[in-house]
A and B are shown apart, each in its own frame.
Chain A
Amino acid sequence: MLNIYYGNMKEAVYNTAAYFKYDYEDSWIVDPFVKEMIQDVDQSTVLDSGVIDSPVLGKIPPIGLSGGVKTLILVKFDKDKVFNVSTCGDNCAKWLLRIAESEDRTVNLLHLMDFGKESFAVRVLNTDQIVHSMEELVSIAGEFV
């Protein structure tokens, strides 16, 4: 399940782009799940572990990916760290839920990410409540951002 702490969290990595720069591994980029994620969010195609084809920027290295995708990759592979996922737009929300489908993940949010109209399960760590809709989530998490 996706566990979210809303508001300032000292132990969370705030600048995820800087963290990604010296932390990512080649194998992460060519992971089929990550390839799909990069295609969906950045509309870019992974050519190999060091080259991604972006329709806007041309051939770019992994550090040239969007801030949102870089954070998603960290959340997926750096399981023991807590990352500030306010570097992710709403188009990353479904991927956060998918990453946390089979394994628990804890992330930090400083804004109200929109998880969409369909039902989902997210634990708000601030109050230890599990919510299933944006209406429930906004009502609880909105008090902390």
Chain B
Amino acid sequence: MKGKHRIIVSTKRLKYDFELRRNLTIIRGDSATGKTTLVDMIREYVNNPSGTPVELVCDKKCYVLEGSLWKGQLGEISDSIVFIDEGNEFIRTEEFAGTIQKTDNYYVIVSRESLPTLPYSVEEIYGIRTSGKYGTLKQIYHEFYRLYGTNAYQREIMPEVIITEDSNSGYQFFKQICRENQLECETMNGKSNIFHYLNAHKDEKILVIADGAAFGSEMDRVQKLISDRKNMALYLPESFEWLILSSGILKKSTVMAVLHTPYDYVESEKYFSWERFFTAILINETKDTYLAYLKRKLNPVYLNDSAKEAILSQMTKIRLDWKINDQ
């Protein structure tokens, strides 16, 4: 499945209206905001097709997945939106992650757990809030709101150390940038090690650069750790490949169209996260050209002055040259 899908589910008393853009959406937040009620309403609609007070408007079929027979149920579901309420232990398993990866559904999961086996985006973690929009109709309206903003720093970030989640091209790029600017650059060999590193280096000026498209499972604890620390900051583009594509180096209008509405292009069955999609696009679009991109080894052309400048210029509020320019 791909695309943006709007879901409106309502009864006489309640109304939910929201859009899904990716294969994985997480709902969490305070108790009594209506998360379980939303799933209950969808279950009611699906289980009683001949007569239900619940109305559901969506261009895709919706289902609720639960219990020990989840795998069998999932085998019968395709091209649909699948809701999973909290209390279903299977969502934490490798088996679940491996199974849904091969499906063409979108999943909406109610859970406050980090769920490290699922590559969900920091942008697709929502809470539910009540709006007064339909108050006069005596129908209480619920909408989703993003729990984490992205890259919204007001102050300038001037790090002494940059850390990246792996040692691929992104790390190789920033390692070179750091070398030129007398900064340090470290790879964490996996996003789950970022928290521990930050925890052990509390007084250092650190910038974390990670793939926002799959950083959702780490976001809560990392955000809570650094929220009161002005010496630490997060930069979470979709991925390093997205950063290159967005820089305009490729000069292709088709790429820009994809970046404008990725959800119209990312086939969920093929790409478990958008990070993988952007990598595939970059490799494909640069194949057999001087810009040929490899994930494992950075093509030195991306370290040319013009390419470097184009990539780094997108990192607004982040000053990597402060040491050599201010000295």
Contact = CB atoms under 8 A, between A and B. Distances in A.
Interface of A: 8, 14-18, 41-43, 56-58, 66-69, 86-92, 110-112, 114, 134-135, 138-139, 142-143, 145
A107 B36 CA distance: 22
Contact of B87 (A8, A87, A91): A87
Contacts of A91: 30-32
A58 B114 CA distance: 33
A66 B221 contact: no
A67 B34 contact: no
Interface in B36-78: 36-37
A126 to B, nearest CB: 14
Contacts of A67: 31, 35-36, 86-87
B32 A68 contact: yes
Interface of B: 13-14, 28-37, 86-89, 92, 111-114, 130, 140, 195-196, 199, 220-221, 224-225, 228
Contacts of B196: 143
Contact of A66 (B31, B111, B228): B31
Contacts of A87: 86-87, 112
B113 A89 contact: no
The 10 closest A-B pairs by CB, nearest first: A68-B31, A89-B30, A15-B87, A66-B32, A89-B31, A111-B112, A142-B221, A91-B30, A110-B113, A42-B32
Contacts of A135: 228
A43 B220 contact: no
B11 to A, nearest CB: 10
A86 to B, nearest CB: 5
B31 A69 contact: yes
A18 B221 contact: no
A90 B140 CA distance: 22
Nearest to A44: B32
A43 B224 contact: no
